[in-house]
Amino acid sequence: MAEILALVEARLRTALGEPDARAAVTFLGTDRIEVLRFIDGDIVRYATLGMSAQPMSDPTAVVADPLKGPRAELVLSVRGGLADTDQVLRKLAVLAASPQVEGLVVAPGASLDVGEPLWPGAPFTSVLVAESGGLVEDLELDEPLEPVRFLPLLPMTRNEAAWKRVRGAQELQEKWLSQGTDLRDPLRRSANLD
């Protein structure tokens, strides 16, 4: 586990630079989850470290396989200086612990909801999990381990989350794209969903 996390942190540093801050959270019955903060100009990136230590397993499986199963870390990018986005640290740790706590398999297209604003004044309580491979390349591990995927999180307003449940992740992403929605704006309004 420690070896995997060392490789994951090295991949994050290669892709995003040196973290300027880190915080750790431990929930009862789970492994420690860290959240690293990276500053790149006016963009602040938060990346989890610890979610990939264990593979995610099907919650209906009788016994979880200790080696096989998808592994992931979460990455959130926002514009700095517009809101107190550092308050998202604990919520990201909660999302990263959800595979251990709730038996969730976090995958692209999924919605994750924390039930409260992601940071003070945020119009978002949930995120859409996007495809990996863009900002941080997947990290290949030795067989039989699956690669660690670095999944971007896209904050959703309540209306967008409800629309996504009905129409799907792909249509919501197309709607954002067609309207030029700045998904990094920590205070943005909901996209026009007519």
Question: pLDDT tens, 47-89?
Answer: 999 999 999 987 666 666 677 889 999 999 999 999 999 999 9
Tell me how far apart the alpha carbons of residues 159 and 161 are, in angstroms, rounded to a whole number. 5
Please report the pLDDT score of residue 89 as a whole number.
Answer: 93
How far is Cα 15 from Cα 127, in angstroms, rounded to an integer? Answer: 22
CA–CA separation, 23 and 20 (whole Å): 11
pLDDT of residue 59: 66
The greatest distance separating any two alpha carbons of the chain, rounded to the nearest whole angstrom, comes to 49
State the average pLDDT for the chain.
92
H or E, element range at 25: strand 21-25
| pLDDT: which is higher, 193 or 27 | 193
CA–CA distance, 191 with 49 (Å, rounded to integer)? 31
What's residue 52's pLDDT? 95
Q: What are phi and psi of 46, to 5 degrees?
A: -115, 130
pTM above 0.85, yes or no: yes
Query: Which pLDDT tens digit goes with each residue over 107-162?
Result: 999 999 999 999 999 999 999 999 998 899 999 999 899 999 999 999 999 999 99
What are the C-alpha distances in Å from 50 to residues 36, 61, 92, 167? 11, 22, 11, 32
